[in-house]
Amino acid sequence: MKKIINQFLNLFGYSITKKKNFEKIYRTLDTTIKNLVKNKSPIIIDVGAHEGESINRFRNIFKSVIIHSFEPQNKCFEILKKFKDENTFINNYGLGDKKEIKKINILNENASSSIHNIDKNSPYLKELKIVEKEDIPLDLLDNYLIEKKINFVDVLKIDVQGYEDKVLKGAINSLGKKIYLIELEIIFIDYYEKKKSFLEIEEILNPLGFELYSLTTPNFAENYRIKWVDALYINKNLL
């Protein structure tokens, strides 16, 4: 019967998939993170908080959670303010490998805004364009963790449009000792003029004891080339 129903649904581009198989094919990292994190009130460092999507996400994963968010875009930060409470700390600056002021390119789709310039020759940009630039302050995650006296981070989530390697290098003194899981975005196509490959990210993390644990289902371009994927790394030193 299932075969007959599937054949009928296939005519319209649909099919029946068991829930457990669906979750394997269309993966997020939420269940994996929930199963790995044992603390009752985990500490999340949310780098690239945008308009609070990741705050809502982690609040849904955990019953009780402490979140430290970073978002340098001023318009996004104004929206982010509504999430602030006794367990959610929001910071209107970015993280990198130096304490400095940099310009960020604000795009018409501000979730794609980046310190890096967009690759104008890329066939994947479509309607993306720079609408303005902002001067933003950057600091090191190492400095923040010392200042806030945070000695253990359950999840470091990084989504900064090609600047992930700089954030990692700014946490180099903390990564191997204080941070259990790292979730970050890996971009495979030419959105920006400067971006790091999967290999270059691994060259930062592997020597510090991190091992690739899981991947989300890739986001694909129209020609089925992988655009980006979120990767989860686990610190073997803290197992």
Q: Residue 23's pLDDT is what?
A: 44
Strands (E), 175-225: 179-187, 210-215, 219-220
The boundaries of the domain holding residue 84 are 26-97+140-238
Strands (E), 118-209: 130-139, 153-158, 179-187
Domain assignment of residue 81, yes or no = yes
* CATH number, position 146: 3.40.50.150
Domain assignment of residue 176, yes or no = yes
Give the chain's end-to-end CA distance (angstroms, integer): 46
pLDDT score of 123 more than 80: no
Strands (E), the chain: 43-47, 66-70, 88-91, 94-95, 100-107, 130-139, 153-158, 179-187, 210-215, 219-220, 226-235
Among 141-145, 156-160, 187-191, 213-217, whose mean pLDDT is lowest?
Answer: 187-191
Domain assignment of residue 153, yes or no = yes
Give the mean model confidence (pLDDT) for residues 66-78: 97
Domain assignment of residue 112, yes or no = no
pLDDT score of 57 more than 90: yes
Domain assignment of residue 226, yes or no = yes
Q: Residue 186's pLDDT is what?
A: 92
Q: Residue 8's pLDDT is what?
A: 40
**45 contacts 54 by C-beta, under 8 angstroms:** no
Residue 222 CA to residue 229 CA, distance in Å, equals 15
Q: How many domains does the chain have?
A: 1
Domain assignment of residue 77, yes or no = yes
Domain assignment of residue 119, yes or no = no
126 alpha carbon, distance to own chain's centre: 22
pLDDT digits (tens, 9 = 90+) for 77-86: 999 999 999 9
Domain assignment of residue 114, yes or no = no
